[in-house]
């Protein structure tokens, strides 16, 4: 593990090769699991303020759930997460060529939002656990990402390299540069 500023980073981010292969997994991380994507209070505020901008990119089922529950729900552990359609897929999912994509990100791509998507989604397969004095930054192993492991190994791209932009978004350029310096071999 590496301790950097107020984070403790698992060696898995440097040891594991990973590159999403969405054509093979079909965006399964957005439609599998037992809860929606983790959200923080700032993201909930953005979603509440911008939901009308996002709705045109959502499915009718997703819109119906949001209108019933709101833009977030509490999971079994009391964490704020995205609601699910039929206890399965994120309400913000839409499908293109049988691939699950994000309505929030689509609105961002169309320059309707300044918010790309929840940071937990952008960082996946990394999960961050917040403690009083630090964040634990860990790689999350999930069988649905097996193709991403194969793809990452083929391309020789580590988790932290694949997630450069979202890690910078979360912790900043300086933090990321320091992380690179810890792991880059001379």
pLDDT tens-digit readout, 32-75: 877 889 999 999 999 999 999 999 999 999 999 999 999 999 99
Confidence of residue 87 (pLDDT cuts 50, 70, 90): confident
pLDDT in the model for residue 31: 87
pTM of the model: 0.88
pLDDT tens-digit readout, 162-176: 999 999 999 999 999
The 3-state secondary structure of the chain reads CEEECCEEECCHHHHCECCCCHHHHCCHHHCCCCCCCECCHHHHHHHHHHHHHHHHHCCHHHHHHHHHHCCCEECCCCCEECCEECCCEECCEEEECCEEEEHHHHHHHCCCCCCCCCHHHHHCCEEEEECCCCEEEEECCCHHHHHHHHHHHHHCCEHHHHCHHHHHHHHCHHHHHHHHHHHCCC
pLDDT in the model for residue 53: 96
């Amino acid at each position: 593990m590496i301790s950097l500023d107020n984070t403790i980073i698992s060696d898995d981010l440097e040891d594991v090769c990973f590159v999403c292969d969405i054509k093979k997994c079909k965006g399964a991380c957005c439609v599998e699991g037992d809860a929606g994507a983790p959200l923080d209070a700032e993201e909930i505020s953005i979603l509440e303020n911008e939901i009308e901008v996002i709705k045109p990119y959502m499915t009718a089922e997703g819109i119906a759930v949001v209108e019933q529950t709101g833009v977030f729900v509490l999971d079994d552990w009391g964490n704020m997460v995205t609601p699910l359609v039929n206890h399965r897929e994120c309400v913000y999912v839409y499908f293109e060529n049988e691939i699950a994509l994000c309505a929030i990100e689509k609105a961002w791509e169309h320059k309707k939002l300044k918010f790309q998507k929840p940071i937990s989604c952008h960082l996946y397969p990394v999960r961050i656990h917040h403690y009083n004095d630090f964040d634990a930054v860990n790689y999350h192993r999930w069988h649905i990402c097996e193709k991403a492991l194969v793809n990452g190994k083929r391309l020789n791209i580590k988790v932290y390299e694949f997630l450069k932009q979202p890690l910078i978004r979360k912790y900043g350029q300086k933090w990321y540069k320091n992380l690179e310096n810890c792991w880059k071999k001379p």
